[in-house]
Structure 1
């Protein structure tokens, strides 16, 4: 363990998964004193760190008892938690990354905050190089598949921006790319569910925010029997922890799974 600088936070609470995973990758897990109850990456974090929050709620008294000198949060959805902690004199940094580039920027900022900017840049450069390699392979595809990425099923919610961007990197075309820049899930609802089969996706990928994806339910939807993805059995799940976490997971395991699905489709639809 390297010496802790007096200018960097040494007692950090992470209210979402991505900053926890990143600090572990940086070898800075000793700074973490509390994590989100949804944390699964790395798995050992659940055994090593106290769980102090869900996503929309937190145990404020428990967080205060940990005496954090910094709390990392994500998005406007955690504004109430952040406000409660700020009123108690806690330093809170809330990131709001929604795109691939914003994820890279957030990760660099966190690395810099804990005195690991150089190591962080090296790790990010490797992630960037892998994305470039995946994109280069995707450019060689004779045809790109149309992909419907479903973040929730009832009502159907399409891909958030970073997922849509990573899908493009991986070689697919987001069927509802026009919705992807909407930050809130309620604004990415496909209002006319019949529009999904009309756009005839070649691939459907489900990531139902922690709920198990049911391909048989998707295939049985009214009007879906002639959808290419249903006809060809191209219905897949990517766990939400791997793709809907705007941090290292999405830039590594998430995009790799997207790319594998697209390339497998391409091999049978040349």
Structure 2
């Protein structure tokens, strides 16, 4: 049977459990959850990224809380001290997301269904790779996760950029799991990397291409010169869950495909 009363401290377990048809197990969700939309209507919101309503969570009598990474370590520790079993996932790449889906499915007793869905997602990734190979050209892509300070994309984002047909211009930063280790202290390094496309996904606020283009010296960047500054909405790409592998990947691929077609035309 597995756990029957689950609190999801981030969005990805909520989205995954709904997709697997196991949403009735969820008794509480993150206030930042947007996928699926019905979850916000159906489930009480009991946490944020770095804080949680511990007493409200305890009142829900959960037999499992699911969170993500060191960001929620303090929440997890408090819940453990209060007698709640906690699973903190720590995956950072595309393969890790697929494995996460399989593990969560197995945890709630639907391993076969989760494995089948992960296989379907893998086939979607493979198809995107094949389309990328057929384009014959790969634009250089700068992904900006935050603007003050500049923070470049995490591993799964960089991997999805490559799967979609681009080349992440800061691969050495993508391998760093903590945002503070992906800070670009000197904005001129982006100018030096000369990206053809800039993708912005500022967590919690709207991406402003005009502000990016106005940065000193950035008019020399091909992406700025050609107007290739695009927003990828953060719920699609900044959560290490299924949305990134579907709608997030599709959004990146659409930008790259349009860039290739304009270049060819």
**Contact kept in structure 2, 1:60 and 1:85, CA below 8 Å:** yes
Within the candidate set 169, 174, 178, 1:175 is matched to 169
CA distance in 1, matches of 2:258, 2:227: 12
TM-score of the two chains, using structure 1 as the length reference: 0.97
1:124 aligned residue: 118
Deviation at 1:141, TM superposition (A): 2.1
2:93 aligned residue: 99
The 10-residue stretch of structure 1 (23-32 or 217-226) with the greater mean CA deviation from structure 2: 217-226
1:210 aligned residue: 204
1:142 aligns with 2:126: no
**Contact kept in structure 2, 1:210 and 1:239, CA below 8 Å:** no
- Which runs of structure 2 are paired with 1:154-165 in the superposition (5 Å)? 154-165=148-159
2:236 aligned residue: 242
CA distance in 1, matches of 2:9, 2:61: 15
CA distance in 2, matches of 1:132, 1:106: 19
CA distance in 2, matches of 1:263, 1:69: 46
CA distance in 2, matches of 1:205, 1:124: 27
CA distance in 2, matches of 1:32, 1:123: 20
2:147 aligned residue: 153
Deviation at 1:226, TM superposition (A): 2.1
Cα displacement string for residues 73-110 of structure 1 (whole angstroms, at most 9, x for unaligned residues): 10011111001010111110000010111111111100
Normalized per residue, the structure richer in helix is 2
CA distance in 2, matches of 1:87, 1:220: 49
1:68 aligned residue: 62
Which secondary structure state, in structure 2, belongs to the residue aligned with residue 165 of structure 1? Answer: helix
Within the candidate set 18, 21, 27, 2:21 is matched to 27
Within the candidate set 206, 209, 222, 1:228 is matched to 222
Give 5+ residue unaligned stretches, structure 2: none
The 10-residue stretch of structure 1 (32-41 or 191-200) with the greater mean CA deviation from structure 2: 191-200
**Contact kept in structure 2, 1:170 and 1:255, CA below 8 Å:** yes
Deviation at 1:240, TM superposition (A): 0.8
Within the candidate set 13, 28, 34, 2:7 is matched to 13
CA distance in 1, matches of 2:136, 2:81: 56
TM-score of the two chains, using structure 2 as the length reference: 0.98
1:44 aligned residue: 38
CA distance in 1, matches of 2:13, 2:24: 13
Which secondary structure state, in structure 2, belongs to the residue aligned with residue 236 of structure 1? Answer: strand
Deviation at 1:189, TM superposition (A): 0.6
CA distance in 2, matches of 1:167, 1:117: 29
1:83 aligns with 2:62: no
Cα displacement string for residues 192-244 of structure 1 (whole angstroms, at most 9, x for unaligned residues): 21010111110000000111000010111110112111111110001111000
Cα displacement string for residues 148-175 of structure 1 (whole angstroms, at most 9, x for unaligned residues): 0000011110010000001000000001
Give the length in aligned residue pairs: 264
